[in-house]
Structure 1
């Protein structure tokens, strides 16, 4: 009888690890509570409207910058929340 008493302890390690893995997986994945966008959402597609017009043409690689860019004027680029 004393030989069988330690056997449950050996089985408890893998069983406990499996239970912990499954509990953490269910907690972080929430697969049963997640929203299935593809199945539950209806998207009504409409025809594309608009027009194409040529604004400017740049040929070659002479210009290294885009005219009118605001890369260096970061204070003008960032919009502050007014509320």
Structure 2
């Protein structure tokens, strides 16, 4: 009956792997602590309305240009504004 110890040791491997997998799954997924946004958050929807400022300015049809006029893609120093803190 000394084989019973060996059989228990062999079964401990798959059982330990299953337990480790389940523990890591629960730790990283947090399925019991998930926030159910659809059920727990109420969002009041309002109809979309326009104002006087929302008017059509220009229309471009059938353009073949690959670039937008007056873009600043290559002028990265003009696009990025540095935040300067008070030195006092």
Q: Under TM normalisation by the shorter chain, which class is it?
A: 0.7 to 0.9
Displacement of 1:69: 1.4
Calculate the TM-score normalised by the size of structure 2.
0.79
Structure 1 distance, partners of 2:56, 2:66, is 21
Superposition CA RMSD, Å:
1.8
Change (3 A) 1:48 1:31: same
Q: Secondary structure at the match of 2:5?
A: coil
Shift of 1:82: 4.7
1:71 aligns with 2:73: yes
Unaligned runs of 5+ in 2: none
SS at the partner of 1:64?
A: coil
Query: C-alpha separation between the residues in 2 aligned to 1:37 and 1:82?
Result: 38
| Rounded Cα–Cα distance in structure 2 between residues aligned with 1:19 and 1:72 | 55
1:3 aligns with 2:40: no
Aligned residue pairs total 83
Q: Where does structure 1 lack aligned partners over 5 or more consecutive residues?
A: none
Report what 1:30 is aligned to.
30
